[in-house]
A and B are shown apart, each in its own frame.
Chain A
């Protein structure tokens, strides 16, 4: 009876040590992984919700010269939302740049453009015969061409206030405005 008790106790003790140690190592590993993912204080917080809708600008050729026109690509992200239309209200420095033209890069949309002074206003709506869902995922939407007038830095800025429908917009298939972020661009012409 004593022999059985001693063996049983040994078995239970060993099992407990193994289980508790395993749990300990799991916690230790989890702790290490967390610390690796922690951002440095100067960096954007690690937990950041992806915006519902976003527009940004890209320069097709990073080397900009006074004699050559520059091309800007407007890209969009819609975070899985299906998009019916969008408005781009882009302001630029008239002393530095002259608007030349725009080109539609997404065949599913019909595009209308007006330019007044230093503001390019583009409205795009899905074509009547297009019935498929359109999700923007870093999608190139419009190419804008400007002619530099003089060298120096020049700003391109989207006019945008969250929830306002009278500036830049991204409208989903429920006619809701989902644009949350825009990023302009500063271009230096040599």
Chain B
């Protein structure tokens, strides 16, 4: 029953089989390509820039003032991003929905670009990235109202010409400020470099736009009162009224509106309507040590106390290396422990910076 296969027949059988396999491989490869093409199919969702409205208020604005960048409409479900060019014109810290509050930093003409994606049904079914831009201008801050120039009177004698004397510009009074502060949970004078905190202090004028922001080193005395050895020098007009915002490196920002605030009444200090800190020419020592500055916004700071900040303490419990202490040792006792955790929990009712 043996089938006789000579060399010629063997050649044909092998050739046929190889061809068969090659065809199948080609079919396989073609199928794979089809699958890849299918998986890369573009989403049918598209965005419509006409459904998104952007506005800037005020525009133009002046250096030092607050600018609102407002987005409204039915577009923009996710991947929302904002860019400002040229860079350096505005400072927009934090992330905000709808309206972004920024501070005008430098004079110039800038462009605000808003990016978004339109999604339908779920965040897996979105359009490609869409863009829309709007220009805005920042001018130099308005100075004090200038005195009207005296009108020139023609002099009958042709040889004499009266030159008006220049109106003197009022020079801003020199104001220096020293603060006395107290921090929640710090019950012993910190040792070494722990006894140095860099704080951001912002001074807002009555119109509530930030006038000047400075960072200063503060250290604690034996009574746990923190003060700045180096005065804050301001170029403010004297006898004016201000709100002062104080923010520590691991703390929520506190707004202070009184020269001598205290929380003896309600147990918790909040600004009353129409109350302001008054600064005068010369040195101003502002004693804010009767109110407590609460911890909560750990580095990298974003203006909120949330699960991210709490996790920094929880995930570093028991540690005392410099990195852990820098980010999560809230009471500055040299170890990240349950006390730090408790301090954050006690600030959960505040949750965000005051403005």
Contact = CB atoms under 8 A, between A and B. Distances in A.
A1 interface: no
Interface string B1-39: 011111101100110011011001101100110110011
Interface stretch (A12-20, A58-66, A73-81, A96-104): A12-20
A165 B122 contact: no
B307 A167 contact: no
Contacts of B124: 44, 48, 181
Contacts, number: 146
A24 B39 contact: no
Nearest to A37: B35
Contact of A128 (B5, B80, B341, B349): B341
Contacts of B35: 34, 37-38, 46
A175 B312 contact: yes
A24 B17 contact: yes
B311 interface: yes
A31 B27 contact: yes
Interface stretch (B163-171, B261-269, B287-295, B298-306): B298-306
Contact of A171 (B34, B304, B307): B307
A19 to B, nearest CB: 9
Given A34-B28, A169-B306, A169-B308, A20 B17 contact: yes
Nearest to B327: A175
A161 B307 contact: no
Interface string A138-181: 00000000000000000000011110111101010111010001
Nearest to B328: A175
A35 B27 CA distance: 11
A126 B341 CA distance: 11
B24 A166 contact: no
A189 interface: no
Contacts of A47: 39
Contacts of B79: 161-162
A6 B4 CA distance: 9
B338 interface: yes
B161 interface: no
Given A45-B38, A45-B39, A124 B13 contact: no
A168 B21 CA distance: 55
Contacts of B348: 112, 123
A116 B79 CA distance: 25
A20 B18 contact: yes
B21 A27 contact: yes
A20 B38 contact: no
A177 B306 CA distance: 12
Contacts of B47: none
A4 interface: no
B39 A46 contact: yes
A41 B27 CA distance: 20
Contacts of A21: 17, 20
Contacts of B41: 41, 45
Contacts of A24: 17, 20-21, 24
B307 A84 contact: yes
A125 interface: yes
B304 A166 contact: yes
Contact of B31 (A35, A41, A87, A177): A35
A55 to B, nearest CB: 11
A169 B18 CA distance: 57
Nearest to A44: B124
Nearest to A56: B122
B39 A171 contact: no
Contact of B13 (A13, A123, A173): A13
Contact of B308 (A40, A177, A181): A177
A46 B36 CA distance: 9
A39 B95 CA distance: 38
B307 A166 contact: no
Contacts of B95: 161, 164, 166-167
Interface of B: 2-7, 9-10, 13-14, 17-18, 20-21, 24-25, 27-28, 31-32, 34-35, 38-41, 78-80, 94-95, 97, 122-124, 302-304, 306-308, 310-312, 314-315, 317, 338, 341, 345, 348-349, 351
18 contacts: A9-B5, A13-B13, A16-B17, A17-B13, A17-B17, A34-B32, A37-B35, A38-B31, A41-B38, A41-B41, A112-B345, A121-B351, A125-B310, A159-B97, A161-B79, A171-B311, A175-B312, A182-B123
Given A12-B10, A27-B25, A39-B39, 4 more contacts: A10-B5, A23-B21, A34-B28, A183-B122
Interface of A: 6, 9-10, 12-14, 16-17, 20-21, 23-24, 27-28, 30-31, 34-35, 37-41, 44-48, 84-87, 110, 112, 114, 121, 123-126, 128, 159-162, 164-167, 169, 171, 173-175, 177, 181-183
Q: Which 4 A-B pairs have the closest CB atoms?
A: A85-B307, A13-B10, A45-B39, A31-B28
